Chain A
Amino acid sequence: QSALTQPPSASGSPGQSVTISCTGTSSDVGAYNYVSWYHQHPGKAPKLIIYEVSERPSGVPDRFSGSRSGNTASLTVSGLQAEDEADYYCSSYAGSNKWVFGGGTKLTVL
């Protein structure tokens, strides 16, 4: 399976909202309610922030929200804070016990 497509970069000012897209196919993003999002600060391991398209793990602020339309999933970060500056990755279950990740988006808080 091919990697999911994400924009290489995104940016916003503190307090603003930014949305990152993640485009797959009808065999992964469009087929299953198992899209997840991770953020990764430099030198750190990725951290799960959204699972099952729009669910937030305990402890993740509600500033992070997920959605999906067709074969494209989206992550919206509202009320941007300096600590949100990180790399963001989407992932999707792709059937037959296989997973695929996106190429990552570097979010800059201006």
Chain B
Amino acid sequence: QLQLQESGPGLVRPSETLSLTCTVSGGSVSRSDNFWGWIRQPPGNGLEWIGNMYYSGSTYYNPPLKSRVTISIDTSKNQFSLKLSSVTAADTAVYYCARVSNLAFDFWGQGTLVTVFS
């Protein structure tokens, strides 16, 4: 069974860079039919797609976040990562990593809360 687990700091200061890692088990991030995504959910609010990454390294980002987001993959560790720069309080959210299959997010991590505070 595929499992995903987010990890990273739970507190980030304004203007700094949020960095999270998603560790995949039970499957390979480098499979040619897989791609991987990040989604976030501000407290009490709905889901927002951040971006996806194909096994080949191609990345696609939500336009409002594009200038601040980088998603990368580390096949040696079976992980993929999210970096979001110049964070503000509006970036406080639960961040989820997920696998994309049939253009739907079929397996999700448990999520990790990141709070931007000064």
User: Which residues of A does B touch, CB under 8 Å?
Assistant: 1, 3, 32, 34, 36, 38, 44-48, 51-52, 55, 57, 89, 91, 93, 96-104
Contacts and interface: CB of A to CB of B under 8 A. Distances in A.
A56 to B, nearest CB: 11
Contacts, number: 62
Interface residues of B, number: 20
B106 A45 contact: no
Nearest to A89: B47
| Interface secondary structure of B, over-half rule | strand
Contact of B48 (A34, A48, A52, A101): A101
A45 B47 contact: no
28 contacts: A3-B46, A34-B102, A34-B104, A36-B104, A38-B105, A44-B110, A45-B96, A45-B109, A45-B110, A45-B111, A46-B47, A46-B96, A46-B108, A51-B104, A52-B104, A89-B46, A89-B47, A91-B47, A91-B104, A91-B105, A98-B60, A98-B63, A99-B37, A99-B49, A101-B39, A101-B46, A102-B46, A104-B46
